[in-house]
Amino acid sequence: MSGSIASSRNPFLPDLCAMQSVFFLVLGAELLAFALVIASAPLAYFSWVKLGQISMLVQWITLSNAAVLCRLRFWLGGLSPSSAGTFSYLLVLAITLLFSWGGGVLMYREVALLESLRAALLAAIIAGVVLRYMYLQQQLANEQQAQAQAQIAALQARIRPHFLFNSMNALASLVSIDPERAEQLVLDLSDLFRASMAEAALVPVSQEIQLGQQYLAVEQVRLDSRLSVSWSTQGELERAVMPSLMLQPLLENAVYHGIEPLSQGGVIEVVVEVTETTAGDAFDVVITLHNDKPSGGSSETRGSGIAQQNIRQRLVAHFGEQASFAVEDHDNHYAVKIAYRCGREE
């Protein structure tokens, strides 16, 4: 219970345990140690031994504070900003005072109370500035994450009505022709609508493929032999993820603007490849969709262009700028290729 509550809180500070954060903390601490040694005596009396001692103490204090704040970042997020800031500030001062006193005992075999107070005073100034900066940085990150989640929800909501209206048209065209098949179509559509109403932002690739297959089964009822479908899948489809309702709008575009205008019909080919990265901590996902279309025509309309723009934005929102969405529009052939890297779905 407590773990789930903690995970839902916005952290008060950035992740100080992350590799990049540790690097900058170590670098900043070393620069501070160097400045302290230079400021303590003329440059002619610069001592490498003293630099080593001060560096060890400053790094010790810095990394200890970072480790404690890292462990408490989500707990601090549950407090009010003033309470969390005050607690963090006093905690840093207490750790600094304790380690300065301990360092004096270990290195000089004496209780250097004056030096410990001097270190605590210096820490009070630096900690106030650094904690304020890190707090503002994390609040900006929290705000950007909230905006991205809201944007994803809005984009997904724009796709759902498009899917609903075209599905109802397919059902209306079938009711008077074949009631039994229309009944089966209703059952298939109920599964599709249930999936479209799901709140999950990311779903397994296998689930999205199943949704696409159900959608094309509905369209095959309507178009009969005019629509041929070929699926090719490879890799761990259950463990790789993708945005929900991303594949279905592309298939819908292929049917309505590619296959349906052809008097003889055509073929839709879908290839899904999931490859584990060398490090084994992520998957590279490549999805390619090919469809026939009228010669000289285009599968891109205003509606499909909006859907494709939505998908591009959702890919970037979930997977960053490395995600790609490419389109090839040939004389009688249309292709869409999606590529991105995602984490493992445990």
Residue 32's nearest CA partner among 102, 96, 85, 87 is 96
Handedness of CA 202, 205, 207, 210 (dihedral sign): positive
User: Where does the pLDDT of residue 61 fall: very low under 50, low under 70, confident under 90, or very high at 90 and above?
Assistant: confident
Please state, in angstroms and rounded to a whole number, the distance separating the CA atoms of residues 14 and 141.
Answer: 9
User: Where does the pLDDT of residue 310 fall: very low under 50, low under 70, confident under 90, or very high at 90 and above?
Assistant: confident
User: Where does the pLDDT of residue 76 fall: very low under 50, low under 70, confident under 90, or very high at 90 and above?
Assistant: confident
- Residues in the chain, total: 346
Please state, in angstroms and rounded to a whole number, the distance separating the CA atoms of residues 150 and 314.
Answer: 11
Q: What's the mean pLDDT in 204-208?
A: 92
Helices (H), 109-177: 113-175
What domains lie within the chain, and their CATH numbers? 2-143 (no CATH), 177-343 (3.30.565.10)
Give the range among 27-31, 132-136, 137-141, 278-282 with minimum mean pLDDT.
137-141
Q: What's the mean pLDDT in 324-342?
A: 92
Please state, in angstroms and rounded to a whole number, the distance separating the CA atoms of residues 250 and 307.
Answer: 8
Largest Cα–Cα separation, the chain: 99
- What tens digit of pLDDT does each residue of 246-272 get? 898 899 889 888 998 998 999 999 999
280 Rama sector, left if φ>0, alpha if ψ -120 to 50, beta otherwise: left
Please state, in angstroms and rounded to a whole number, the distance separating the CA atoms of residues 144 and 131.
Answer: 20
Q: What's the mean pLDDT in 298-307?
A: 58
Report phi then psi at 100, rounded to 5.
-65, -45
CB crowding 42-66: b at 16 or more within 10 Å, else e? eeeeeeeeebebbbebbbbbbeebb
